[in-house]
Amino acid sequence: MGKLDGKVAVITGGASGIGRGVANLFAKEGASVGIFDLNPDNAKAVADEVAAHGGKVAFATGDVSQEEDVIAGLKSLVAELGDVDIMVNNAGIDTTRELDGMPTDMWDRMINVHLRGTFLCTREVLPAMKKKKWGRIINLSSQLAHKGAPTMVHYVAAKSGIMGFTRALAYEVARDGITVNCINPGPINTPLLNGLPQEWLERKKGELPIGRFGEVDEVAPAFLLLASDEGSYFVGASMNMNGGDYMI
């Protein structure tokens, strides 16, 4: 028996990095898995990977910051898998620039992907969760929402917004049997992280008491805890696995 038997989970940004790891772990634990990602080739490849665990899987492509993409993508996944029980808002981007040289479109894109995307995807799945009186919303924030970081004002603002969104929504829906929590990992070895400038990466690694970046397998179990019945008393919580970058 898996911890997620009979559940339907959708992971945005599920075609790489943390999302890919969570998709595979959830499938191993019995969930039907929907992958929503901007990259169709990667989404299909990860869906095939997840299917190897024997569970039901589907994928849809689209931009989480675009309302029409979210509505169509989630409608497609629900048609194939059933109503969503577990929504993992993981999709994200990462760029660096000092604020006085930051173009407005760079700011807007960061806020739209992270914060607007979390809002759109969550809003879409809440009615079915309320009807069932059971649901799990898991949002990806960052330890930088607590700590801050130079050249990442836009990223920190977006992730701080997700943390606030999580707490406020947790109040709204807890008595509907829905928990809303966020995970705030430190730097994790993923294609997203490794796309940042080498100078930034070296400086960040030097700040970590543990002296290394984390691995996806060190983060994914936290998602499983929050998604399962074992996580039912986590409400509006922020889980911090960050190698000691920010101790709270």
Question: What is the DSSP track for 44-104?
Answer: HHHHHHHHTTTS-EEEEE--TT-HHHHHHHHHHHHHHH-S-SEEEE---------GGG--H
CB 145 within 8 A of CB 184: yes
Q: Which residue has the tokens 């898995």?
A: 33
End-to-end CA distance of the chain: 35
Rounded CA-CA distance 4/231 in Å is 12
CB 150 within 8 A of CB 100: no
Our answer to whether residue 171 is catalytic in this structure is: no
Partnered with residue 238 across adjacent β-strands are 182
Q: Is residue 187 exposed (0-12), middle (13-18) or buried (19+ Cβ within 10 Å)?
A: buried
CB 156 within 8 A of CB 145: yes
Q: Which of 155, 171, 233, 246 is catalytic?
A: 155
Rounded CA-CA distance 63/153 in Å is 22
Catalytic residues: 155
